[in-house]
């Protein structure tokens, strides 16, 4: 795909949704971090349902730590892998309090050192809480980047690196939101809805029915 096409794609995605953001609900960087940590292999809707109650009881790392693993597990047991996630949540809170004064660090290395926090979670937090132009590649972005040929790659890291190289600079901050939403609601895994896709004429997916 050439640069002119990529530019047009992001122009159109922006025109459709000028101020995209995550569908996870949160009030602080800490709550975003925990919501993303809980969202692995779960839907944002399911995570929001649990965190609406959890964040009322434990909005900060110290309150979450007081709740303890069993307490956190009770609030998130509707989410997949909840035992591991409860354990990581509490361990992360302990580290935030011991090493970062209860604040979420703004450096990738410090974020990725937190239990249960990988590159994708760090990218979301750096981007959405701290305004850094990172791109977190999830299953939706991986699919859209490959189908459209915006940034084809055999694994998420290759797609991330290519997106960082190829997405026009003025669209970098919001690119991952546009691509996730496009993949979630239009360019769906089993049946992409190409007939109502705003970038259909630019997309290079060989199987698109147009
Ligand atoms: S045309 Fe189809 S395959 Fe291409 S981005 Fe749109 S929905 Fe996805």
CATH 1.10.1670.10 in the chain, residue ranges:
3-20+134-196
pLDDT category, 207, cuts 50, 70, 90?
confident
Q: Of 138, 155, 174, 208, which one is the catalytic site residue? A: 138
Average pLDDT value over all residues in the chain = 94
Structure token pair of residue 73: 């597990």
Q: Assess whether pLDDT exceeds 80 at residue 209.
A: no
Q: Residue 150 and residue 174: Cα distance in Å, rounded?
A: 15
Structure token pair of residue 65: 């730590």
The pLDDT, as a whole number, for residue 210 is: 61
pLDDT in tens, 19-64: 998 899 999 999 999 999 999 889 999 999 999 999 999 999 999 9
Residue 66 CB-half CA count within 13 A: 8
The pLDDT, as a whole number, for residue 16 is: 94
**Domain spanning 3-20+134-196, CATH class:** mainly alpha
Residues ≥6 apart with Cβ < 8 Å to 48:
23, 24, 25, 35
**Domain spanning 29-128, CATH class:** mainly alpha
Residues ≥6 apart with Cβ < 8 Å to 195:
209, 210
1 Cα: distance to centroid of ligand 1 (angstroms): 14
CATH 1.10.340.30 in the chain, residue ranges:
29-128
Residue 203 CB-half CA count within 13 A: 27
22 Cα: distance to centroid of ligand 1 (angstroms): 21
Secondary structure element (H or E) that encloses residue 98, with its range:
helix 82-100
């Amino acid at each position: 795909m050439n640069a002119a096409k990529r530019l047009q794609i992001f122009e159109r995605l922006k025109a459709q949704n000028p101020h995209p953001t995550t569908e996870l609900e949160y009030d602080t960087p800490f709550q975003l971090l925990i919501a993303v940590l809980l969202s692995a292999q779960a839907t944002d809707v399911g995570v929001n349902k649990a965190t609406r109650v959890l964040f009322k009881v434990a909005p900060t790392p110290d309150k979450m730590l007081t709740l303890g693993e069993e307490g956190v597990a009770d609030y998130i047991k509707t989410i997949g892998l909840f035992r591991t996630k409860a354990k990581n949540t509490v361990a992360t809170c302990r580290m935030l309090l011991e090493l970062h004064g209860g604040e979420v660090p703004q450096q990738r290395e410090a974020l990725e050192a937190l239990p249960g926090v990988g590159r994708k979670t760090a990218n979301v937090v750096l981007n959405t809480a701290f305004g850094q132009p990172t791109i977190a590649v999830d299953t939706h972005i991986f699919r859209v980047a490959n189908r459209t040929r915006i940034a084809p790659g055999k694994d998420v890291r290759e797609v991330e690196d290519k997106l960082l190289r190829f997405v026009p600079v003025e669209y970098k901050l919001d690119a991952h939101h546009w691509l996730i939403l496009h993949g979630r609601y239009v360019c769906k895994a089993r049946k992409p809805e190409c007939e109502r896709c705003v970038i259909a004429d630019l997309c290079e997916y060989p199987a698109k029915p147009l």
